[in-house]
Structure 1
Amino acid sequence: MSETPSNTLHYRFDGPEDAPVLILGPSLGTTWHMWDRQVPELARHWRVFRFELPGHGGTPAVPAGSVGELAVRLLTTLDSLGVRHFGYAGCAFGGAIGAELALRHPERLASLALIAASPRFGTADEFRQRAATVRAGGLEPIARSAPERWFTGGFASAQPAITDWAVQMVRTTDPGCYVAACEALAAFDVRHELARIGVPTLVLAGSEDQVTGPAEAHTLVAGIPDARFAVVPGASHLVPVEQPAAVTELLLNHFSASWPATPESATGAAPIPAAVPAGPAPMPMAPPAPVPAPPGPATTQAAAPADPARAAAPFDPFPIPTPALGPTPQLGPVPQLGPVPLDGPAPAPEPAPFAPAPDPVPFASDPVPVPAVPAPPAQSAQPASPVEGASSAEPRPAGRPDPYDTGIKVRREVLGDAHVDRVLALTDDFSADFQELVTRYAWGEVWDRPALDRRLRSCVALTALVAGGHLEDLAAHTRAALRNGLGPHEIREILLQTAVYCGVPAANRAFAVAQQVVREETASAE
């Protein structure tokens, strides 16, 4: 067993040794296991490096006084391994470290993803008060409240194993290091420096996050040049745990597009040392198999726990618990770049069960509930008779899958569950065939074609709605455009362009609709 020096961090590698290095940074109170569900797919393309904060998991309990100091410890760890150039994705506190790296050490960073992050986390007083609470009474109050901060209520109640995991993981964190981290966040404020972040950046937020939600994400997007933005519906603060497939797909798309895989020499990564056998660390890395083993060997650097009491904890905080599969429908992941549909389908799904990952986590393929739309006894392949009611069924050509399931998934991902549920609630025998047609052919066929990404399809949809005068659908499509990665400034430019080609009166009405939506989205997030 080897000890981790106090100026470095406990780490783990997964994936091919000669691949570019992609770092995944954890949230405060978590260990590297919060990324378990992302690793199998990401490790197919990159050498995935995970680390733990001071006093978390296997990292010695040596408090860090600032986010900048943590960034330096991370770089010291990477320097010892010969890693000079890397991509970085960080959640919450891990996102703060990512922003610090982009501002102070831009030459090391190839591409950046900020998840549930903010240029300033709450107020300094809030974190100082949290630090005072821990000093006075330990981490128990923080641990008990972790699930409501990290997860949506439906997810927490449906997944008691995950809820218990969250509580126990915070309990096993070193209190002194937790206090130091709170003080570091109290002092962290890069709002006036965002324009200096020059690497390709994805900003990702959970739609239900009450800690660092879409409002904070909009601040990042507005300040970072050319940043891209995505909202994951049905997720709160710990987005990679609550909606793992959606986050995996977003990260895969972002890093593949902004940082193509390059030979080892381009990443600056030296060969990784052979694995060091792990000793009895307070938080074992990977018991049974909640996550399939990714390609390539895993290299773990283990540390002797600084506090024997923590080592005695009989608890393994992550491998994420794997609840039993049940009939509960699962929320479909929302891809990063999406356009804007005309309507919505399907009854509101219950919170997603945290299904175990079979073979490598099939990102973006979580089952999506099929809407309870009244359907005719047989579906015609020709959409010619929805007005008349029932249609004579013709068999679908052999080998061609029914696009309905894909359509309902894409429709929810783009328009959001709330919109789709409203539309479905109004569906009756008279309109059911029309809803089937829209779901199958608009969403399952056209919107799912790979030639255009969803950002571009949103641009086309907004322009077409203004040109056609269909302002009754413009609000829903504006919300979808924000969800699919377009920022308010990009929507503004699209509408300015429509003023030239569709007419000033049409653009004037469109601006009024879009302006109201942007205000509502920002206000609701705040």
Structure 2
Amino acid sequence: MTGPENGPLLVLGPSLGTTTHMLEAQAADLSRSWRVLRYDHPGHGSSPAAKSPFTVEDLARAVLALADEDRFAVGGVSLGGAVALAVAALAPERVTDLVLCCTAARFGEPGPWRERAARVRAEGMGWLAGMVTARWFTLGVDPEVAEPVQSTLLGTDPESYALACEAIAGFDLRDALRDVRARTLVIAGDQDPATPVEYAEVIADGIPGARLAVVPGAAHLANVEQAPVVGGLMTRFLGNGVGLKTRREVLGDAHVDRARAAVTDFTADFQEFITRYAWGEIWTRPGLDRRTRSCITLAALVARGHLEELAMHVRAALRNGVTPDEIKEVLLHSAIYCGLPAANAAFAVAQTVLNEDI
């Protein structure tokens, strides 16, 4: 686990035949404001070898058990992306954001996957190195980029790898895509022969509101070959984690989910600006507690006549522990310094909200 203690949780899973190290660049970027938890698949890296068959859904249930927050973001590459997709389908009420990189809702016909599993059991992992890494990277990739993940592949437990291939063979979530409610970013490599752009398009078309980004000059491990590009896409989509968590705590999940669902390419930078600076920098400063900040915000909104936001911040004030009597005192004080008409309109808005909460 990396990242600030007060950041929201983001769970990331790697591709088949790799480990958490292949997500190093993205984790470094995102850990500035997210608590990033990476995991290894069975028999990969530090994870114990599998002793019996499992499904992608089994791996997703393990992620749900691993997550220490009721609501969290999840993502991954290839098999890790399939696990993330299964998490979002199994527990849509728990997943806020979903980032899927070079993955699929179905990885083609099951036959070749079962044949690969059988050959690994018979011959071990050595024969895979050339075939798989040729699909992972574009022609002419820097050997320093490819070699570490190739070495990791060769160190994977063969039986666990074979069982994972069989899990992939049986994986098909195409009919469940419409049930995913999380904000979703789908990333594809433009030269990916393993999960081509068409696979990403199936996911993006199936999940309501999903966005698709195609990375040029990238094959299957786009996050390794084009790490800065993929990292930038993920960071911009997920936003400032600390600010987002504070915004949720103050304004509530329902409001924030609606606001984020309405973000467009035109408004995205402004929303990121608000989340980063208002919620991630100002509302988190230790000099004033949230009750005090809510009172100041109410007075400022009355002064400027921003009644369209006053109702939202009356609810936020109640959530922050400000009592109805204290809200009344703030509005009375505002009547003297901001004007009676402004306070009169503010009392009407506040009374409507207080009636909702009674």
In the superposition, the TM-score normalised over structure 1's length comes to 0.46
User: What's the CA shift string for 1:326-381, capped at 9, x where partnerless?
Assistant: xxxxxxxxxxx989xxxxxxxxxxxxxxxxxxxxxxxxxxxxxxxxxxxxxxxxxx
2:87 is the alignment partner of 1:98: no
Contact 2:63 2:87 in 1 (8 A): no
Partners of 1:260 and 1:232 in 2: how far apart? 28
Number of the residue aligned with 1:148: 134
Number of the residue aligned with 1:65: 54
Partners of 1:117 and 1:70 in 2: how far apart? 15
| SS at 2:245 equivalent | coil
CA offset at residue 102 of structure 1? 0.9
Partners of 1:451 and 1:100 in 2: how far apart? 31
> Could you list the runs of 5+ residues in structure 2 that have no partner in the other structure?
251-263, 273-358
Q: Which amino acid aligns with 1:179?
A: A
- C-alpha distance 234-259 of structure 1, shift in aligned 2 (>3 A): farther
Contact 1:110 1:259 in 2 (8 A): no
- C-alpha distance 266-73 of structure 1, shift in aligned 2 (>3 A): farther
* Aligned positions of 1:372-387 closer than 5 A: none
Give the one of 7, 10, 19 matched to 1:22: 10
- C-alpha distance 451-65 of structure 1, shift in aligned 2 (>3 A): closer
Partners of 1:451 and 1:199 in 2: how far apart? 21
- C-alpha distance 258-225 of structure 1, shift in aligned 2 (>3 A): farther
| SS at 1:249 equivalent | helix
Number of the residue aligned with 2:202: 219
Number of the residue aligned with 1:382: none
Number of the residue aligned with 2:328: none
Q: Which amino acid aligns with 2:205?
A: A
CA offset at residue 20 of structure 1? 0.3
Number of the residue aligned with 1:238: 221
* Aligned positions of 1:103-142 closer than 5 A: 103-142=89-128
Contact 2:7 2:241 in 1 (8 A): no
- C-alpha distance 258-160 of structure 1, shift in aligned 2 (>3 A): closer
- C-alpha distance 260-89 of structure 1, shift in aligned 2 (>3 A): farther
Give the one of 174, 184, 190 matched to 2:157: 174
Partners of 2:143 and 2:235 in 1: how far apart? 29
Number of the residue aligned with 2:35: 47
User: What's the CA shift string for 1:221-247, capped at 9, x where partnerless?
Assistant: 111111101000001100110011111
Identity %: 39
User: What's the CA shift string for 1:12-44, capped at 9, x where partnerless?
Assistant: x01111210111111001110001111222111
Number of the residue aligned with 1:412: none
Question: Over aligned residues, Cα RMSD in angstroms?
Answer: 2.5
| SS at 1:222 equivalent | helix
Partners of 1:223 and 1:259 in 2: how far apart? 30
Contact 1:149 1:210 in 2 (8 A): yes
- C-alpha distance 266-130 of structure 1, shift in aligned 2 (>3 A): farther
CA offset at residue 257 of structure 1? 8.4
CA offset at residue 258 of structure 1? 10
| SS at 1:29 equivalent | coil
- C-alpha distance 264-228 of structure 1, shift in aligned 2 (>3 A): closer
- C-alpha distance 223-173 of structure 1, shift in aligned 2 (>3 A): same
Contact 1:143 1:166 in 2 (8 A): no
User: What's the CA shift string for 1:190-230, capped at 9, x where partnerless?
Assistant: 11121111111111100110110211111111111111010
Number of the residue aligned with 1:249: 232
Partners of 1:161 and 1:52 in 2: how far apart? 22
Partners of 1:112 and 1:196 in 2: how far apart? 13
* Aligned positions of 1:237-386 closer than 5 A: 237-256=220-239, 261-263=244-246
| SS at 1:225 equivalent | coil
Q: Looking at secondary structure, tell me which structure has more helix per residue.
A: 2
Contact 2:33 2:242 in 1 (8 A): no
Partners of 1:20 and 1:451 in 2: how far apart? 21
* Aligned positions of 1:71-82 closer than 5 A: 71-78=60-67, 82=68
Partners of 1:116 and 1:139 in 2: how far apart? 22
User: What's the CA shift string for 1:134-176, capped at 9, x where partnerless?
Assistant: 0111111112322201000121xxx223332222111110111
Q: Which amino acid aligns with 1:101?
A: V
> Could you list the runs of 5+ residues in structure 1 that have no partner in the other structure?
1-12, 268-336, 340-449, 454-526
User: What's the CA shift string for 1:175-199, capped at 9, x where partnerless?
Assistant: 1110110000000001112111111
| SS at 2:194 equivalent | coil
Q: Which amino acid aligns with 1:205?
A: A
CA offset at residue 260 of structure 1? 5.9
2:147 is the alignment partner of 1:164: yes
Partners of 2:107 and 2:227 in 1: how far apart? 23
- C-alpha distance 71-126 of structure 1, shift in aligned 2 (>3 A): same
Contact 2:34 2:241 in 1 (8 A): no
User: What's the CA shift string for 1:277-312, capped at 9, x where partnerless?
Assistant: xxxxxxxxxxxxxxxxxxxxxxxxxxxxxxxxxxxx
Give the one of 10, 31, 37 matched to 2:25: 37
Q: Which amino acid aligns with 1:244?
A: A
CA offset at residue 106 of structure 1? 1.3
CA offset at residue 107 of structure 1? 1.9
Contact 1:200 1:258 in 2 (8 A): no
- C-alpha distance 116-221 of structure 1, shift in aligned 2 (>3 A): same
Number of the residue aligned with 1:190: 173
Q: Number of residues paired by the alignment?
A: 256
CA offset at residue 45 of structure 1? 1.3
